[in-house]
Structure 1
Amino acid sequence: MSREERKPIVSSSSSSTCSSSDDEVHPVVRRRSTRDTELAGHQKDAGCCDPTSTPHRFLALLFMCLLGFGSYFCYDNPGALQDVFQKELQLSSTEFTLIYSIYSWPNIVLCFVGGFLIDRVFGIRLGTIIYMLIVLVGQLIFATGGVLGHFWLMIVGRFVFGIGAESLAVAQNSYAVLWFKGKEINMVFGLQLSVARFGSTVNFWIMQPLYGYVSKSYSGYKGLGVALFLASSTCVMSLVCTLILGWMDKRAERILKRNNNPGGELAKLSDIVTFKLDFWMVSVVCVAYYVAIFPFVALGQAFFVSNFHMTPDEANTVNSIVYLISAIASPLFGFVIDKVGRNVTWVFCATISTLLAHFLLTFTHLDPYIGMSIMGLSYSMLAASLWPLVSLIVPEYQLGTAYGFCQSVQNLGLAVVTIAAGIIVDSSGGSHFWLQVFFMSFLLVSLLATCAIWAYNRKHQGNLNMSPAQRATYHTSIAMQCRHMNRRPLLGNYVQ
């Protein structure tokens, strides 16, 4: 996306809100190009061809969601085939978790840089295509390593896969804000998560049967590699969706003459030092909450086999419940949050209920479907309420950089915690008790960070925990204040 395509979202700081207030008080009149005749004379029949129409925007949303499907499907291929990986490649739990941690290590830096490159260099369309291609190449290398039985090559493939996948998620978030900034944004984030997690759920459903079918013709690690090659077809599908979405966005930009950054602000890597405490606490939640979900799911098959005496297929089924429920519940929570607001309150409730889910799985003998169902609902609630907070804190021309930083620190946490999780399981003789305690301690950190967001927002009279009506009044008040300031006499400050 070009620099001219972005406009700051109103935030709680007066400096950033005043810079965008003139656009709110004196909206820019967008005229269609005289050379563009795609919609001319057909406005009544334009329907879904009109980029401003609801059907057209939600068609774009469909492709936004599907561009991440392949990435999430392939990300959890190892989790669905944990027993196969460890048996055919003779891996310990620590070595197995390296498959996940190596995914995260490059993104400690590159994800942040990837967001910046979207803001300043590639633009959102080209950047998304590049990152999707990297994902596909990484998965193909990973599968090739499986066919050859070379674990080191599989690690290289996951490294490359990770470089593209997390930056792709940043691009996906930026697309969502560009097309749906406003009252629909929470639902859109929830729906994107829904489709992504449906990809993870389908992975847990079909990879074991797929490997079983393939292994009839290809034995040992070759069967594993062929199954991974077949899984890469989902990345090809996502690449096609990326190309279609890029075409739609370019067409919408041309027709609507988009200029969402009339102030000409330029994103810089140094912008990160200007972000306020509430953004940093959101980043802490991104780390502390997600490390209690993803590493748990990655090692979930062994956990349910060991603690609840399930078969690998049964363990995969219950392990997929988190993603299955989030696929259904995330857009629903997003819709509700769009209506009632109070994002910080929702984040607080999600963290508490996730802590409860881990407690039930660790200290009780209740059916694990109960704990996993609570975890799935909680995860959906958090994702639909947490990520939109960034767009309320940071000006839009910095969103790629901001989301990239959140993804970067999240990957730092995942890289370290995933390795630590494998070490804890190996050193405990296969027991997952201390690992569960480890996860719950991170949820307590997430809870404290959420309280810090609430306190900082309340102290500075911010809009993070407001209802939609209160936010509208807040934005109007800021706009009128800035308009009044702009009308003061130039030398007014010097009048004695």
Structure 2
Amino acid sequence: MAPVHSKLTYYRFLVLFFNCLLTFGSYFCFDIPSVLQEQFQGNLTCPNGTHHNGTGHNGTLDCVEGLGMTPAEYNLLYAIYAWTNAVVVILAGFLIDKLGNRFGVFVFSFLTVLGSTIFALGSHFKGTPYLLPLMLTGRLLFGSGNGSLTIVQNRITAFWFKGKELALAFGITLSFSRLGSVLNFFFTQQFDTRFGIQWTLWGGTVLCVLGFVSAIVVSVLDKLGTKQLGLDGVIQEESKKVRIQDVQHLPLRYWLLVLTIMFFYNGVFPFVADASKFIQDKYSGYSKQAASYIAGAVYDSSLVLSAAVGILIDYIGLRGVFAVGCAVLTLPVFALLAFTFVPPLVSTIWLGITYSFAAASMWPSIPLVVPQATLGTAMGLATSVQMIGIGVSNLIVGHILGTKSSELKIPLWRWQQMMIFMLANTIACILTSVSLNIVDKKQGGTLNKMTKQSSVEERGRQPVDTAPLLDEVGEDGSIN
């Protein structure tokens, strides 16, 4: 018999594939500064015989030639990305709800291309007053696009997979994004050694162009798919009803979930941004390339585990429980880094595992506690709060690590203070995640049920939610 449902499944995963490619290149670009931190903070010129710029070491190792940024300026590259996201994604989420996914993927993927282009262009102005303003402008535009692009990516995933392997779909999306990050940590240092920092940044821009092409493809697939299912008009009608005032009706569970996400990510992203240099400063015997590999193990673990973790969470539920567990199990990571000399690879792999479970349990929980019609707005607010936290954390880390000069080696006590700050964020994450579980239990325990079970209950409570219309397809092709 004609497997109409099978055709829908095939189509959903085709949409998912191109949806995943949206952020592959931008995630590669995001952490290029982390891999090349010494080059960003390096001296503008080096005396003869003291220069080293790759994995090998020669001469006296006194000088690294680079762009001449201070630690504060370097961390500002991450802070401005986060602050831009915090402002832009609120409006972006609302516009996506009002104007649709196709509008979002086109505009925001274009902004990532424009931002990465200006960022790469800025590197050609080292030693001039134009370097920092150009690179900050590039990160600002890049952040405006990438954070907002993640919202529309999540909205598309939630629409096509709500009630159908939702955590798996989010896990696969995260794996593709993390693949970009992993490849960055594996190849960027080698590329820089061979071609220099300018061409390395331009290579990242090319990968962002790949995301723009994918945006065009996923727009076409989304339009054809919703039209084939007869849902295009329904979605447009629901979008017209979305108002900015709807924000005040978002439930307490949602806000506790948002704070849990923010505090957890406050420990992950600022750490990864400085991890490569931290490893070289604290532990002996690590080259820049080896340090970048170890720092990238956070993303390696996530790449390998995300899809499998998604399947597990779809099967057993317990999203709220996993949120608490991830926070608790992250505490030893920063304790080991702060107070011991246990090989750093242990901590980065460990953090990657807890990060995988956190991402697969926290973000897919948002569609379960808010209506589909306001999902873009909810995702935008969640991303905004997350980025506010990360932006503040990056500024604090920059202050902790020093602001006066691009010292070749940052004192160990400063790194220890940074790790204690990471621990404080993790403790706050434990408190908010426990509160989330308490409130969720009082309101039916949706987060700790399987996706399909909670989806059925949500369908009964939210008659205007359009995504469950995809859950069942009759043999004649009609939507039940």
1:323 aligns to what?
Answer: 299
State which of 36, 49, 59 in structure 1 corresponds to 2:14. Answer: 59
Determine whether 1:347 maps to 2:328.
Answer: no
State which of 108, 113, 117 in structure 2 corresponds to 1:140. Answer: 117
Distance 1:479 1:105 in 2: 34
Structure 1: which 5+ runs fail to align? 1-42, 215-222, 481-496
Distance apart, 1:108 and its partner CA? 1.6
1:73 aligns to what?
Answer: 28
The answer as to whether partners of 1:267 and 1:401 remain within 8 angstroms in 2 is no
Distance 2:301 2:138 in 1: 30
Distance 1:339 1:236 in 2: 36
1:111 aligns to what?
Answer: 89
Determine whether 1:390 maps to 2:366.
Answer: yes
Distance apart, 1:190 and its partner CA? 1.0
State which of 209, 212, 218 in structure 2 corresponds to 1:245. Answer: 218
* CA 1:469–1:393: 2 relative to 1, 3 Å: closer
Partner AA of 2:110 in structure 1: L
Structure 2: which 5+ runs fail to align? 43-65, 404-409, 464-480
Secondary structure (helix, strand or coil) at the match of 2:428 reads helix
C-alpha deviations, 1:80-138, integer Å up to 9, x for none?
A: 110111112212211110111111112222101001000113x1012111100000000
Which has the higher Rg, Structure 1 or Structure 2? 1
Distance apart, 1:213 and its partner CA? 0.9
State which of 378, 392, 408 in structure 1 corresponds to 2:384. Answer: 408
* CA 1:421–1:44: 2 relative to 1, 3 Å: same
Q: How many residues are paired up?
A: 426
Partner AA of 1:124 in structure 2: N
Secondary structure (helix, strand or coil) at the match of 2:336 reads helix
Spell out the pairing of 1:22-421 with structure 2 (5 A cutoff): 44=2, 50=7, 52=8, 54-87=9-42, 88-121=66-99, 123-149=100-126, 150-214=131-195, 223-258=196-231, 260-261=234-235, 266-309=241-284, 310-421=286-397
Determine whether 1:444 maps to 2:448.
Answer: no
* CA 1:83–1:453: 2 relative to 1, 3 Å: same
The answer as to whether partners of 2:329 and 2:354 remain within 8 angstroms in 1 is yes
Distance 1:183 1:363 in 2: 44
C-alpha deviations, 1:230-251, integer Å up to 9, x for none?
A: 2211111111111111111111
Distance apart, 1:227 and its partner CA? 1.5
Distance 1:383 1:173 in 2: 12
Distance 2:392 2:217 in 1: 37
Distance 1:344 1:265 in 2: 33
* CA 1:304–1:266: 2 relative to 1, 3 Å: same
C-alpha deviations, 1:274-321, integer Å up to 9, x for none?
A: 112111111111211101000000000111001112221111010000
Partner AA of 1:185 in structure 2: L
Secondary structure (helix, strand or coil) at the match of 1:399 reads helix
Partner AA of 1:142 in structure 2: F
Secondary structure (helix, strand or coil) at the match of 2:447 reads coil
Distance 1:252 1:473 in 2: 23
Identity among equivalent pairs (%) = 31
C-alpha deviations, 1:340-371, integer Å up to 9, x for none?
A: 01110111111111112222222222222111
Computed over aligned residues only, the root mean square deviation of the Cα atoms, in angstroms, reads: 2.1
* CA 1:159–1:470: 2 relative to 1, 3 Å: closer
Distance 2:138 2:239 in 1: 39
C-alpha deviations, 1:133-154, integer Å up to 9, x for none?
A: 0000000000000122222211
Distance 1:325 1:46 in 2: 36
Distance apart, 1:416 and its partner CA? 1.1
The answer as to whether partners of 1:147 and 1:226 remain within 8 angstroms in 2 is no
* CA 1:272–1:47: 2 relative to 1, 3 Å: closer
Distance 1:472 1:182 in 2: 5
* CA 1:276–1:363: 2 relative to 1, 3 Å: same
2:415 aligns to what?
Answer: 432
Distance 1:344 1:47 in 2: 31
Partner AA of 2:41 in structure 1: Q
The answer as to whether partners of 1:105 and 1:415 remain within 8 angstroms in 2 is yes
Distance 2:193 2:15 in 1: 37
Of 471-480 and 318-327, deviating more is: 471-480
Partner AA of 1:461 in structure 2: G
